[in-house]
Amino acid sequence: METLDTLMSRNSVPPKLLRDPAPDEATLQEILATAVRAPDHGAIMPWRFHIVRGDARARLAEIFVEALLKRDPDAPDSAVEKERNRTKFAPVVIVACTEVTTDHPNVPPVEQIVSTGAAVQNIMNAAHAKGYGSFLSTGKNARDPHVKQAFGLSDKDELVGFIYLGTPKPGLSGKPRPDAMEFCSEWTGAAVAAE
Ligand SMILES: Cc1cc2nc3c(=O)[nH]c(=O)nc-3n(C[C@H](O)[C@H](O)[C@H](O)COP(=O)(O)O)c2cc1C
């Protein structure tokens, strides 16, 4: 696919619409290689990616359940089941994290998190270019200390998101997109009025 065609045709594919086959090892590594092309102020390399597949997906789902029950011991069965099923469909989950350097003189944590976001987008576009679908999700799991601990993250670090990856169900159509120019304007030097 031409690069711009790839960028212009990507749509998120919800995890329930993802299935086997997963990218093979070589393709997955090609996809992941694009992550480290993200802009990285200060060459901090703050990104960490954990690849969860096979039986490890069920273990991740159990950690989601444990985290839910720590947050809410009375959580209804339906909520527990939702967590248990979260990793059931997509054959691969990539957990994208930022190991935050808090004391860098020029690069605040937000820039390191933005860099990880850019890496995530590269992964998603590369997956799409290779014919796979993906979906980025966060929710309470991404902020939960029990989940973060499973990935070696301390309080200062960020779990930026879970990228669900797999083969999209055939026949999906994307959502309508706005005209980009609605969000763009020529800045001519005068202060822009606050919205
Ligand atoms: C940082 C981030 C976190 C997100 N977390 C969730 C989430 O937890 N649950 C969800 O349904 N969508 C979440 N989304 C939205 C989806 O990933 C997706 O962008 C949305 O469904 C729109 O699809 P599109 O990417 O094709 O525009 C998140 C998006 C971003 C950028």
pLDDT tens, the chain, 195 aa long: 699 999 999 999 999 999 999 999 999 999 999 999 999 999 999 999 999 999 999 999 999 999 999 999 999 999 999 999 999 999 999 999 999 999 999 999 999 999 999 999 999 999 999 999 999 999 999 999 999 999 999 999 999 999 999 999 999 998 999 999 999 999 999 999 888
In a domain, 90, yes or no: yes
With beta carbons less than 8 A apart as the criterion, state whether 127 and 23 touch: yes
Looking at residue 98, which CATH number applies to its domain? 3.40.109.10
93 pairs with which residues across the strands? 52, 164
For residue 44, give Cα distances in angstroms to 29, 102, 120: 21, 11, 16
In a domain, 77, yes or no: yes
Asked, for residue 194, whether it belongs to a domain, the answer is no
Question: What integer pLDDT is reported at residue 1 of this predicted model?
Answer: 64
Query: What's the 112 CA to ligand 1 centre distance in angstroms?
Result: 20
Domain total of the chain? 1
Q: Is residue 189 part of a domain?
A: no
- Residue 128 within any structural domain of the chain: yes
> 162 CA to middle of ligand 1, Å?
10
What is residue 195's predicted lDDT score, i.e. its pLDDT?
Answer: 83
Note whether residue 168 is domain-resident. Answer: yes
Where are the alpha helices (H) located in the chain, listed in sequence order? 3-9, 25-33, 56-71, 77-85, 109-129, 139-143, 145-150
Q: Whose CA is nearest to atom 25 of ligand 1?
A: 12
In a domain, 176, yes or no: yes
Exposed/middle/buried for 23, CB within 10 Å: 0-12, 13-18, 19+? buried
Domain containing 79 equals 3-183
Specify if 195 maps to a domain.
Answer: no
Does the C-beta of 11 come closer than 6 Å to ligand 1?
yes
Answer whether 137 contacts ligand 1 (Cβ < 6 A).
yes
